[in-house]
Structure 1
């Protein structure tokens, strides 16, 4: 972990923005920069929690999505849409999970053109352990209260919706 700064660099950047003639953009710059920094902090914590399980967050998301599905299998195209990532990223994650015997590719039972990714028992076991780690080390230990978490999710959902995310 890096040493803590004695001041908030984003607050200082906001002050500089205002001072250098962009007061109308200062709040937005501070908001965007804060979100980016929070994302960096959260990803570092997520990676730390998943490291003992030899998983990246993208592979964890793939396994959890499959574990949550009714049959434990989904078409690769549906996985990409649900996780909102490029098809090449899904192929890479499935390849890596397949090499580690966490998923397997299977033919769709009724559509020969479609390939499914199916979670294995080993994949289910691993994603359950990884979820315990994430719940304990990240999701229930955000460092802010439940009311703040609920308000944050509400605001971010409005932002995502306003930008066509769903």
Structure 2
């Protein structure tokens, strides 16, 4: 059932039904991120920073983290100081370039986030448990293809 935002947007542009549903999921994910931030007692950008650090394939320093968040260096340093002060992250020397400092999420930070996200992930699993194997394969294929399109969008001018 379309919500008010989707109903309004449906008058402005056409999209396939799965696209509308995915857009709703993306909006709900943003809302869940704000709830997670509130439950952790952190600003929303701090939770975004934790997510970026958890998902990074290469080590990130404060400047790289700030760039990904669209922040100036001084604001990124404040954010890192705040997250380090709460025990969610720590600064460590880069394993190959000892001159560089990188950031890593602490076990304490990971457990704090997962304590709040665990119930939501369990709800996702309950929904997935209601799918038959064919439906599950279809959903997984669709979502992985969408993730790949999002990655491609990132590298397209």
* Alignment counterpart, residue 115 of structure 2, candidates 123, 126, 129: 129
Contact between 2:49 and 2:69, CA under 8 Å: does it hold in 1?
Answer: no
* Alignment counterpart, residue 149 of structure 1, candidates 125, 136, 139: 139
Greater length-normalized contact order (CA 8 Å, ≥ 6 residues apart): 1
CA distance in structure 1 between the partners assigned to 2:153 and 2:107 by the alignment = 38
Q: Which runs of 5+ in 2 are unaligned?
A: none
Contact between 1:79 and 1:90, CA under 8 Å: does it hold in 2?
Answer: no
Q: Normalization by structure 2: what TM-score?
A: 0.56
Q: 1:54/1:151 Cα in 2 relative to 1: closer, same or farther (>3 Å)? A: same
CA distance in structure 1 between the partners assigned to 2:80 and 2:63 by the alignment = 13
Q: CA RMSD of the aligned region, Å?
A: 4.6
5 Å matches for 1:111-130? Answer: 111-130=97-116
Q: 1:76/1:134 Cα in 2 relative to 1: closer, same or farther (>3 Å)? A: farther
Q: Normalization by structure 1: what TM-score?
A: 0.54
Q: 1:130/1:110 Cα in 2 relative to 1: closer, same or farther (>3 Å)? A: same
Aligned residues: 146
CA distance in structure 1 between the partners assigned to 2:8 and 2:95 by the alignment = 59
CA distance in structure 1 between the partners assigned to 2:115 and 2:95 by the alignment = 30
Contact between 1:103 and 1:119, CA under 8 Å: does it hold in 2?
Answer: yes
CA distance in structure 2 between the partners assigned to 1:147 and 1:64 by the alignment = 26
* Correspondence for 1:76: 61
State yes or no: 1:163 paired with 2:157: no
**Bigger radius of gyration:** 1
* Correspondence for 1:104: 90
* Alignment counterpart, residue 64 of structure 1, candidates 54, 64, 76: 54
Q: 1:40/1:9 Cα in 2 relative to 1: closer, same or farther (>3 Å)? A: closer
Q: 1:107/1:54 Cα in 2 relative to 1: closer, same or farther (>3 Å)? A: same
Counterpart secondary structure, 2:14:
helix
Q: 1:11/1:119 Cα in 2 relative to 1: closer, same or farther (>3 Å)? A: closer
Deviation at 1:107, TM superposition (A): 2.9
